[in-house]
């Protein structure tokens, strides 16, 4: 009788432990991919990485966008109109081993940046948990989160995170530092708890 009760306790304990582990995938199964032009999205990606671990990857293009703000705006408008997907220099090996993929980007013209579309279309993310995060110039996410859902129909897309970054149009670039970074760190942690990625 004692042995049976002891076995029951062990099974119950293992069940409880498994439940709590299931909420947060092992570090090696988390991928954080981001596109950052002015380093604000990069700063958020690093905050997420500090909280959940995993692999942190910056998306780079074979042909980088021009430095001039007006030139990049015109190029992105043309890419969106024609459906052009810029080729990625960055390669993700063994995408299958990741269960949870964070995807970070700025809002460009109220739309998802073409390089992020390239990433989402290039890799098979079926069955994975996809978590978008965004920085913008104060105009919001536009259609970005909806586009992520459209491009990942067989994935579990969780609630995204967004915050105001720099305003490149006005020459205000990196702002995610000092007090703003402290605030962003607290907001990211609260968001990760809300979507049950961390406790």
**Tens of pLDDT along 88-122?**
999 999 999 999 999 999 999 999 999 999 999 99
With contact defined as beta carbons under 8 Å apart, do 196 and 129 qualify? Answer: no
Distance set, CA 159 to CA 115, 119, 130, 147 (Å): 21, 19, 9, 13
Q: State residue 8's pLDDT score.
A: 42
Look-up: residue for tokens 């995610």?
A: 176
Report helix, strand or coil for 170.
helix
Q: State residue 85's pLDDT score.
A: 96
Distance set, CA 76 to CA 58, 71, 110, 121, 153 (Å): 19, 9, 11, 17, 24
Q: Specify burial of residue 89 (Cβ count, 10 A radius: 0-12, 13-18, 19+).
A: exposed
Q: Which two tokens stand for residue 48?
A: 């997420």
With contact defined as beta carbons under 8 Å apart, do 55 and 31 qualify? Answer: yes
The pLDDT tens digits for 140-197 are 999 999 999 999 999 999 999 999 988 888 887 788 889 999 999 999 999 999 999 9
25-194 folds as: Rossmann fold (3.40.50)
With contact defined as beta carbons under 8 Å apart, do 78 and 114 qualify? Answer: no
User: How many CA atoms, within 13 angstroms, populate the side-chain half-sphere of residue 25?
Assistant: 17
Helix ranges, the chain (H):
2-23, 40-52, 69-82, 114-122, 144-151, 178-194
23 falls in which pLDDT band (50, 70, 90)?
very low
Using N-to-C axis directions, what is the helix angle for 144-151 and 114-122, rounded to 10°?
20
- The domain limits of the chain are 25-194
> What is the Cα–Cα distance from 23 to 181, expressed in whole angstroms?
26
Can you say how many angstroms the Cα of residue 157 is from the centroid of all Cα atoms in its chain? 11
């Amino acid at each position: 009788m004692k042995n049976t009760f002891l076995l029951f306790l062990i099974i119950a304990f293992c069940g409880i432990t498994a439940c709590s582990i299931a909420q947060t995938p092992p570090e090696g199964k988390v991928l954080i991919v981001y596109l950052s032009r002015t380093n604000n999205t990069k700063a958020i990606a690093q905050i997420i990485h500090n909280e959940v671990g995993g692999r942190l990857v910056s998306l780079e293009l074979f042909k980088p966008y021009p430095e001039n703000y007006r030139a990049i705006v015109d190029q992105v408008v043309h890419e969106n109109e024609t459906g052009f997907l810029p080729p990625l220099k960055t390669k993700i090996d063994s995408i299958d081993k990741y269960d949870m993929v964070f995807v970070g980007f700025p809002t460009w013209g109220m739309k998802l940046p073409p390089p992020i579309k390239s990433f989402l279309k290039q890799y098979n993310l079926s069955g994975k948990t996809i978590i978008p995060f965004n920085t913008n110039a104060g105009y919001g996410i536009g259609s970005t989160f909806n586009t992520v859902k459209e491009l990942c129909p067989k994935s579990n897309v969780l609630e995204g995170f967004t915050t105001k970054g720099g305003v490149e149009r006005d020459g205000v670039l990196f702002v995610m530092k000092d007090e703003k970074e402290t605030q962003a760190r607290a907001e990211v942690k609260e968001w990760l708890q809300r979507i049950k990625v961390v406790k």
